[in-house]
Amino acid sequence: MSVCTRIRNQFSEYLDGALTGVAMQQVDTHLRSCKACAADFAQWQSVQETLGALGPAKAPPDLALRLRVALSQERTRTPKQSLARWQVRWQNNVAPFLLQASAGVASAVLLVGTVALLVSTFAAPEPAVARDEPIGRASSPRFLYSSAATNPDAIGDHGNPVVVYALVNGSGRVYDYQIVSGPQDARTRSQLEELLLFSVFEPARVFGQPVRGLAILSFAGVSVQG
């Protein structure tokens, strides 16, 4: 291996100050006497300065909510949750079509009965939440306010509202959500995530104690209903 090749192989460590004192001095001495290596080293310095000027990468403003939602979805990804979400989608998309078909009345009745049987058979009771208690002893989450920059009036429209199931913890903050109807494009999800991140709810209560609960939010370009 030639001296120039050995010196050039140490450029990265030399720039990072990872060489020993003797090796640093050898590289410095060689750069003073070898124009070719000095020109090559100048390019390394230029790249390092350019990368340094870029600064650290900034995290997206909604990263915290996305991470929290992703973790919550993984924790709550159970057969019961999947069955419940499938039931909601079926009720909003398939059932209306079947009920409107003149020749499909018998099929609609059969499917409704089948879904009801599946839900009652396989959906195990949840831990105590607001909706498990008799009326008067429990309450559902209630939307209070949001400090987000996103305007709720900009989400959805009269002809195609966005309906969201928001899971609210005992502190009144959203820890997961699911769009059950309406647009689900990236822009709509980004607006929803920013809004929900800064939203505060009155938590659900059972016998006066705050618990987790489900809030249904509807965005129709006018207001938010909880």
Q: Per the confidence metrics, is the pTM higher than 0.75? A: no
Cα atoms found within 13 Å of the Cα of residue 16, Cβ hemisphere only: 6
First-to-last alpha carbon distance for the chain, in angstroms, is: 74
Burial (0-12, 13-18, 19+ Cβ within 10 Å), 150: middle
Q: How confident is the prediction along the chain (226 residues), in pLDDT tens digits per residue? A: 688 999 999 999 998 888 998 999 999 999 999 999 999 999 999 988 888 777 676 667 777 888 888 887 777 666 666 666 667 666 666 555 554 544 444 444 444 555 454 445 444 454 545 454 455 567 888 888 887 777 777 787 767 787 878 888 988 888 888 888 888 888 888 887 887 888 888 888 877 788 888 888 787 766 445 5
3-state secondary structure of 96: helix
- Angstrom distance (rounded) from CA 107 to CA 148: 46
